[in-house]
Amino acid sequence: MEKKEIKHIHCTVKNCEYHSPDSRCMAGNITVGTQNACSCGETACETFKMSCKDKTCKS
C-alpha cells in the first residue's frame, strides 16, 4: 500500500504503521469507530496497523 499523507491529521501513535516521524498520518484515509461514543476516549482509529519497525511487535 502506498502511504499518502492525510492533511490536518495529527497522530501521536508511534507504533502505528502509518505514523510519520513528524506525527503525520500517512494512511491515505482513516476510519474512526465506535457507534455510540459520548467522549473522545470512547472513539478509536480503526485504520491502526501495528508497526514492526522496531521489531517489538508480535505477529
Tell me, what's the pLDDT at 20? Answer: 93
Tell me, what's the pLDDT at 42? Answer: 87
Cβ contact 18:3 at 8 Å: yes
> For the whole model, what pTM was predicted?
0.73
Q: Where are the domains of the chain?
A: 1-53
To which H or E segment does residue 44 belong? strand 44-45
59 residues of the chain, pLDDT tens digit each: 578 889 899 999 999 999 999 999 999 999 998 888 888 888 889 999 998 876 666 55
Which DSSP string corresponds to 6-28?
A: -TT-B---TTBTTB-TTSBB-BS
Tell me, what's the pLDDT at 16? Answer: 92
Tell me, what's the pLDDT at 41? Answer: 84
